[in-house]
Every structure is written in structure tokens, then in C-alpha cells.
């Protein structure tokens, strides 16, 4: 019995070590079309994924027999290849597959070696800890386990199944339009930022009735943005608008919530000091934990998300501001393969938000919530009985900027879509939009809500200011 238990411990250690090596090992290779990044994502139905995050296009082949998703992410794209692809008007799946084949083979060769060595090391350490006559059998078990782990990779990880019926995900049919849009916007990125600056300066110079309203010069402000949808081209514009101040990002930072999008968009955390975030229906549980590690303040109905995974205070202070956030009900989950879970908020969900908000009224200045439909019951209650002090709701989701005062002390600000709807909504021709809230502190008093929209195609822009320090 002891010998059997010893051998079982060695085998389990070897399998755990081999699995860890498979999940952690990554490989990058330069191809004629760009740079590809390969890794294996454990715990999924076996598949080969090809994904191009720049244009949010992916194709999946169910051809891997291990419970592993073999991912080939195209991190950079050669400009000549991109133009050629855009002119073709379609995606040649066979050509993409052939380009990736050699890189996949190189990755598998290396990961087999890594799995063998780590499995042997893990099993060997356990075997070495076993003394007496069982050592010989434990050592044999360690070697056999390492060989078996490597053999399983060789036999079952290479794509060998049916590859004639791929499954497209993300926005494959829109690749040519995406390339065209990215090229056009990238060429005018500096112009976008200049136009944004000009509009904000113009807003600051608006003339108000003397003696009746507070001047906004020198007052603190926060930037309100949402719905980037993985459009990295808009990041410089967002950074310019925040200007090193607080940034409230109200959901849909990514488009599918997949890990590759998370790694590419986490630089947005540096746009705000601090960067506050609540998730939308296009964000994922993986994104939240990674943003926290990057230094973001991630808020939810249960409180601020901590690096440990636990929750902290529901209301956090950003300078003089007291801010709370309500996470979206339909965020994407890694365990569900980042599937779209969006449904319009139900009566029970809007009531749950109202129940959560009531105890916070008077204790919070700004509430961040992605979907404004959740506010319906709360707004009706505040219209019937306005709060004694001001409260501002920062929302997103609709992709259209707006600022309104549904009650004397209640303001709802929607910055629109800072990503122009993202690469998945090119047909909508949405403008890049964001908002800014200027306020005075001690006590908190909102002064202005500014909205800026810029058409990335024509460069035309529109700015609007709502004064909040006067009776509606």
C-alpha cells in the first residue's frame, strides 16, 4: 500500500508539473505577415485558435484532442501584407493556416521538451523525498510519467482533426473595413488629439452670465469615458483628454474580453491618475484581475476589487470625490469561453440596483454604472423625492454622448464611445466621444458637464456644455 501511494504521489506531481509547463510556456516567432505569439490555454474544449487582435478577427478549428486551446495570436502585422489583405476584400483562411503551421510545429517541439523536463523535475523531487526500498520504483515512476506527459503532447496537441469547417468569431467578415478604418484613423491620430484639445479649450472659454455662475477655471475635473471596444488607436486621444487627472472608465474597455485584448489595452490604466473602472458587458472576469494588478481601481457592487481577489470599500475617495461603482450583470466569463451574455436588464435587476443605491445616497458623489437602463427605478424615486445633496451618475453602453438632469440634484453623464464603437461597429460610423465633469469641493457641487465628439473620418467635431450650478 505504501509503495502504491508513493508511486501515485510521484505520478500526480509529474502530471501537475507537466500541465504547468504547458500552460505557462509561450513562444513568439517572426513570419512574413508579422509576429505571432503561441501559447496553450488549459481547461477548454480542444481547438486551434488563430486571432488577429488589431482588427478583432479570429477563426477556430476544432482539431486538438487535448482539453487545451492552442492559441496563435498575430501580435503585429506587416504593412504590405495588411494592404494586400485589405485589397483582396476577404480572408484566405487556408493561407493563414499554412503561414502558422511552421510556427505551430516549432512551438510544439519546444513545449514537448519543456513539459518533459518540468514533469521529470517535479516527479523526481517527490521521488527523492521518498526513502527506503520504494525509491527505485518511485524513480522509475518519475521517468515514466515525464515520458508519458511528453508523449501525450506529441500525440494529442498537434492539430490533426477536421480543419475544413472553421468557426469564425469576433468580426471576421469586417476585416477589410477594419483595416481601412485603422489606416485612416492612425494617419490622423495627432489631428484627433489636436481637435480634442481645441474643443476643450473652447468650452473653457464659454461666456456665462456674470455674477450668477461660478467660473470653471482652476476647478478640479474628472474625465468620463467608456466603450473603447479594443480600439487602440483612440488611446492617445483618451490620454490627452485625461491630462494626468482622474479618469472614470465606465465599461467595455475590450470587445470580447479575451486575454489577448486584455494584455493590449491595459496601458489605458496609465491614462488616468487614478484610473477607475467598472466592467461592461463586453469585459471579462480576466480583465478585472489584470487591471487591478496594473494599478487600476476596479469597483463593483460588493466593493473595490483587491489583488487578493477579496473586496474592499464600496465607496472610494479620489481626492475630494467619493466614488462607487456597480459592475455589469452580463460580463463575459473565462469559464464560459468569453461568450456574449448580454440581455436587457430585467425588473429584478433594476430593483437590485435601486436597493444597492439607497443606503449610499448622501455618502457618495459619483456612481459609475455601465448600462443606464439599470437607473430606471432609482431615477423615478429621485424624481419623486430628490436627494438633499448632488449625485452624478457616469454611464456608457449606448455609444451616444448625453448629459441630463432628471431631478434638481441628479445628473447623468454619458461620454459616448471613446473608441468610435470599436472595429466591430464600423458600419455605424460612430464619432469618438468623451465627457468631463468640473466640480467644486467641500461640499461637492458639480459645475459643468462637457461633451466632445470627433468624427475620425472627416475630422469634424462638436462640443457641448451643460451648466449644473443653476436650477434646471
For domain 188-467, the CATH superfamily is Metallo-dependent phosphatases (3.60.21.10)
Predicted pLDDT at 259? 73
Torsion of CA 400, 402, 406, 410, to 10 degrees: 120
Predicted pLDDT at 186? 42
Average pLDDT over every residue of 154-163: 76
Q: What is the pLDDT of residues 62-91, one digit of tens each?
A: 778 888 888 887 776 655 555 555 444 444
Q: How confident is the model at residue 54 (pLDDT cuts 50, 70, 90)?
A: low
- Mean pLDDT check: name the lowest of 4-13, 359-368, 407-416, 448-457: 448-457
The pTM of this model reads 0.63
As beta bridge partners, residue 406 has none
Cell numbers 481577489 correspond to: 309
Is the peptide bond preceding residue 443 cis, with omega within 30 degrees of 0? Answer: yes
Average pLDDT over every residue of 317-326: 96
Predicted pLDDT at 168? 56
Q: How confident is the model at residue 285 (pLDDT cuts 50, 70, 90)?
A: very high
As beta bridge partners, residue 366 has 323, 392
**Start-end of H helices in 129-174:** 134-156
Tell me the Ramachandran region of residue 56: left when phi exceeds 0, alpha when psi lies from -120 to 50, beta otherwise.
left
Residue 31 exposure: Cα atoms within 13 Å on the Cβ side:
26
Candidates 386, 333, 378, 388; CA nearest to 351 is: 378
pLDDT at residue 351 greater than cutoff 80 = yes
Q: What is the pLDDT of residues 356-395, one digit of tens each?
A: 999 999 999 999 999 999 999 999 999 999 999 999 999 9
Distance separating alpha carbons of residues 194 and 344, to the nearest angstrom: 37
What residue spans in the chain does CATH classification 3.60.21.10 cover? Answer: 188-467
Strand order in the sheet with 167-170: 26-31, 34-42, 68-77, 47-52, 57-61, 167-170
- Mean pLDDT check: name the lowest of 213-222, 271-280, 395-404: 213-222
Average pLDDT over every residue of 248-259: 87
Residue 333 near residue 284, CB atoms below 8 Å: yes
**What is the H or E stretch that residue 256 is in?**
none
What are the distances in angstroms from CA 411 to CA 109, 277, 379, 394?
59, 19, 10, 9
Amino acid at each position: 500500500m505504501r509503495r502504491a501511494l508513493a508511486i501515485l504521489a510521484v505520478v500526480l506531481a509529474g502530471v501537475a508539473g507537466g500541465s504547468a509547463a504547458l500552460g505557462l510556456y509561450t513562444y513568439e516567432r517572426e513570419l512574413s505577415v508579422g509576429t505571432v505569439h503561441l501559447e496553450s490555454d488549459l481547461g477548454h474544449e480542444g481547438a486551434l485558435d488563430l486571432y488577429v487582435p488589431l482588427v478583432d478577427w479570429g477563426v477556430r478549428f476544432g482539431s486538438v484532442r487535448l482539453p487545451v486551446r492552442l492559441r496563435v495570436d498575430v501580435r503585429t502585422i506587416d504593412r504590405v501584407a495588411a494592404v494586400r489583405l485589405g485589397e483582396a476584400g476577404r480572408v484566405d483562411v487556408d493561407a493563414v493556416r499554412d503561414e502558422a503551421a511552421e510556427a505551430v510545429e516549432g512551438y510544439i517541439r519546444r513545449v514537448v521538451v519543456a513539459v518533459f523536463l518540468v514533469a521529470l523535475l517535479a516527479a523526481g523531487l517527490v521521488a527523492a523525498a521518498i526513502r527506503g526500498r520504494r525509491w527505485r520504483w518511485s524513480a522509475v515512476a518519475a521517468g515514466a510519467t515525464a515520458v508519458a506527459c511528453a508523449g501525450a503532447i506529441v500525440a494529442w496537441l498537434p492539430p490533426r482533426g477536421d480543419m475544413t469547417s472553421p468557426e469564425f468569431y469576433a468580426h471576421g467578415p469586417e476585416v477589410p473595413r477594419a483595416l481601412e478604418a485603422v489606416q485612416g484613423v492612425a494617419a490622423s491620430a495627432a489631428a484627433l488629439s489636436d481637435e480634442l484639445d481645441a474643443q476643450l479649450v473652447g468650452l473653457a472659454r464659454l461666456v456665462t452670465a456674470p455674477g450668477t455662475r461660478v467660473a470653471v477655471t482652476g476647478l478640479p475635473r474628472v474625465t468620463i469615458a467608456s466603450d473603447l471596444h479594443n480600439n487602440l488607436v483612440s488611446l492617445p486621444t483618451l490620454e490627452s483628454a485625461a491630462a494626468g487627472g482622474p479618469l472614470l472608465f465606465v465599461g467595455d474597455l475590450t470587445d470580447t474580453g479575451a486575454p489577448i485584448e486584455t494584455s493590449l489595452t491595459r496601458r489605458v490604466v496609465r491614462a488616468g491618475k487614478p484610473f477607475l473602472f467598472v466592467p461592461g458587458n463586453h469585459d471579462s472576469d480576466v480583465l478585472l484581475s489584470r487591471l487591478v494588478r496594473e494599478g487600476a481601481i476596479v469597483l463593483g457592487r460588493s466593493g473595490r476589487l483587491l489583488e487578493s481577489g477579496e473586496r474592499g470599500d464600496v465607496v472610494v475617495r479620489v481626492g475630494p470625490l467619493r466614488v462607487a461603482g456597480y459592475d455589469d450583470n452580463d460580463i463575459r466569463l473565462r469559464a464560459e469561453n468569453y461568450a456574449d451574455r448580454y440581455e436587457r436588464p430585467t425588473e429584478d435587476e433594476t430593483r437590485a440596483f435601486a436597493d444597492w443605491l439607497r443606503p449610499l445616497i448622501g455618502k457618495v458623489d459619483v456612481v459609475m454604472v455601465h448600462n443606464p437602463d439599470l437607473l430606471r427605478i432609482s431615477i423615478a424615486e429621485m424624481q419623486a423625492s430628490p436627494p438633499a445633496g448632488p449625485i452624478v451618475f457616469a454611464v456608457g453602453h449606448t455609444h451616444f454622448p448625453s448629459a441630463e438632469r432628471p431631478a434638481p440634484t441628479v445628473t447623468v453623464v454619458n461620454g459616448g464611445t471613446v473608441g468610435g464603437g470599436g472595429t466591430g461597429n464600423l458600419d455605424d460610423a460612430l464619432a469618438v466621444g468623451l465627457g468631463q465633469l468640473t466640480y467644486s469641493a467641500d461640499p461637492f457641487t458639480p459645475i459643468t458637464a462637457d461633451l466632445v465628439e470627433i468624427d475620425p473620418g472627416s475630422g469634424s467635431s462638436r462640443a457641448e456644455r451643460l451648466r449644473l450650478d443653476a436650477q434646471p
